[in-house]
Structure 1
Amino acid sequence: MKIIIVGCGRNGSGLAQAMSKAGHSVTVIDSDPAAFQQLGKGFHGKTVEGIGFDKDVLQRAQIERTDALAAFTSSDESNAVIARIAKEIYHVPKVVARLYDREKAEIYKRLGVQTLSSTTWGIKRASDLLSYSSLNQVYSFGSGEAELVRVELPALLAGHRVNELTVVGDIHVVAIERDNKTLLPTTGTIFQKGDVVYIAATSASGGQLRKLLGKTW
């Protein structure tokens, strides 16, 4: 997976290191070349010096071939602009922006840009949002503390019951699409091959949900 991270501060550099260690191809953009020192010697990605919303800079970072972008500069305005450019001009599939202003965050979420506020920010949280390749976020509740995701049922779960994919207080199956119909399951409902499952989960339970689904990414 190819990822661009704009902003190499404490959080941006930490995210870059985490995603690089996970095996992703990471490119970091920052206007201050000295900031790249925070990446450390173990970072194996690329760095690009420049302003994150500059067209030439983004093209040097190969945004046209990027799977995900995270905008984490110290400026809400810059992050919002970078996110909109990535989403609307370059059609980057996954875009995350850190915005301190919650009102702005709500506006951009309605426009399809996933946002993180200073109160919900976390490297693990951003890593999950960028790398959930088989989980499609449908809706984010509050400031990102919980979300509704859509997933095509893994073949190995066919024949299992809904309660096997339930963690009280963290993970709940709320709906199943089957044969062009939608049903509200009980804990005893049995999954069938081809089901599309809608799951409400807390942001902290992402790793646990992946394990329950049998995912290793």
Structure 2
Amino acid sequence: SGHQVVVVDNEQKSFNRLHPDFRGRTVVGQALSADTLSRADASHADGVAVVTNSDVLNAVIGHSVRVHYPNVKQIIVRNYDPAMRDMLEAFGLQIVSSTAWGAERMQELLSDASFRAVFSAGNGEVEMYEMYIPQKWDGMQVSQLLQGCGEIVSVALTRAGRAELPSSEAVLHQGDVLTVSATFDGAKALRNKLQEMKS
């Protein structure tokens, strides 16, 4: 869908597991190495997903990318051990729990910066999302936006830096930030609706 993907792994044979239809680039090397990240063209990346099987390594790589490549808008790290989640959160990184979310969730996060998770409860069964209201949705009511999306509720509406609890009749304006709480299915339904409204 217009995205160029680069996969980094320290073992060449790992790339054999990629789908036969994969058309991206592969880079062999240690993900913590500046040379490897340079060969992966991290300086031009919009998003990075860090999915090693070590929570500590994921945190360090994610933090390193954020420090050395400030242009990267989305840095997402995979969390294997729930006991390590607090450590990942301390780095201020976007976290995806391997048990609750998986690859589809990472793809969604990387491809849509206007709709992003800001808080996760439990193992990610319920998350809070922020979405930025574009000109196209100016004048729409909160209830119209969320209608038909299932398990989703509006939590806050921020306008010019001031937040309030929105009623379902609250009218959205361009530049507003609407915060919603949703299950995975509710968020997916809203994301699909937003994509339809954009087109």
**TM bucket by the smaller chain?**
0.7 to 0.9
30, 39, 43: which one aligns with 2:18: 39
Summarize the Cα distance change of 1:193–1:83 in structure 2 as closer, same or farther, 3 Å threshold: closer
Identity level (%): 35
Is 2:82 aligned against 1:105?
no
Residue 58 (structure 1) shift = 1.0
1:175 match: 156
The Cα RMSD (Å) is 2.2
1:197 match: 178
Kept after mapping to 2: 8 A contact 1:136/1:151? yes
Kept after mapping to 1: 8 A contact 2:126/2:183? yes
Kept after mapping to 1: 8 A contact 2:59/2:91? no
In 1, the alpha carbon distance for the partners of 2:20 and 2:26 equals 13
The TM-score with structure 1 as length reference comes to 0.79
1:5 match: none
The TM-score with structure 2 as length reference comes to 0.85
- Mapping of 1:50-199 within 5 angstroms? 50-91=29-70, 92-166=72-146, 170-199=151-180
Q: Which amino acid aligns with 2:168?
A: T
In 1, the alpha carbon distance for the partners of 2:56 and 2:187 equals 29
In 1, the alpha carbon distance for the partners of 2:55 and 2:103 equals 18
Q: Residue 25 of structure 1 aligns to a residue in which SS?
A: coil
Summarize the Cα distance change of 1:99–1:185 in structure 2 as closer, same or farther, 3 Å threshold: closer
Q: Residue 43 of structure 1 aligns to a residue in which SS?
A: coil
Gapped runs of 5+ residues in structure 1? 1-21
1:26 match: 5
Work out the number of aligned pairs and report it. 195
Q: Which amino acid aligns with 1:171?
A: I
Is 2:28 aligned against 1:49?
yes
Deviations 1:114-153 (A, max 9, x none): 2223322412111112222212433222332222222221
Residue 101 (structure 1) shift = 1.8
In 2, the alpha carbon distance for the partners of 1:96 and 1:179 equals 28
Residue 184 (structure 1) shift = 1.4
Kept after mapping to 2: 8 A contact 1:125/1:204? no
In 2, the alpha carbon distance for the partners of 1:105 and 1:181 equals 30
